[in-house]
Amino acid sequence: MKTYHGSCHCGAVQFEAGIDLSAGTIKCNCTICTKLRFWPAIVKPEHFRLIAGDTELSNYRFNTKTDQHQFCKHCGVHPFVIGNSPRWGVFYGVNISCLDDAPIEELVNAPVTYLDGRNDNWDSPPLEVRHL
């Protein structure tokens, strides 16, 4: 596991997170992940630290209203989601596209697990993933 630093686009929100990119990332076809092309790594809360921007974040909740999709009020970028699921418990889904110091080769080599969130089917991948 390495400590990475990340931020939103305007820099109001800054965070660091301990992530093992070689352990895998997520792409999901649910409605919000599709629209955002959200690409998170799942991180335990103790491995995430918000450095700046607590008051600059807003959060969007829908459906069960369980997951807090955090976004910067100024630039609109979604750096992370705070969720709670049977699979992961309370988790941070850190948008690895927001990491400022992750080498490109670590990103392209990070395994991707595809989730069929759109159909609430968490046990097998979606039939089509190329658009995610």
Binding site for Zn ion (CB under 5 A): 8, 10, 12, 72, 74-75
Of 106, 102, 126, the C-alpha closest to 116 is 126
Instruction: Give 58 or 121: the residue with its C-beta nearer to Zn ion.
Output: 58
The residue (of 10 and 36) whose beta carbon lies closer to Zn ion is 10
Stretch (H or E) spanning 32: helix 31-36
Nearer to Zn ion, 5 or 74 (CB): 74
Structure tokens at 128: 């089509």
How does DSSP classify residue 81? E
Q: How far is the CB of 58 from Zn ion (least distance, A)?
A: 11
Q: How many residues does the chain have?
A: 132
Residue nearest to Zn ion (CB): 72
Tell me how far, at minimum, the Cβ of 109 lies from Zn ion, in Å: 28
3-state secondary structure of 126: coil
Give least dist CB 54 to Zn ion, A.
13
Q: Which is nearer to Zn ion, 79 or 126 (CB)?
A: 79
Quote the distance between the C-alpha of residue 97 and its chain's center. Answer: 9
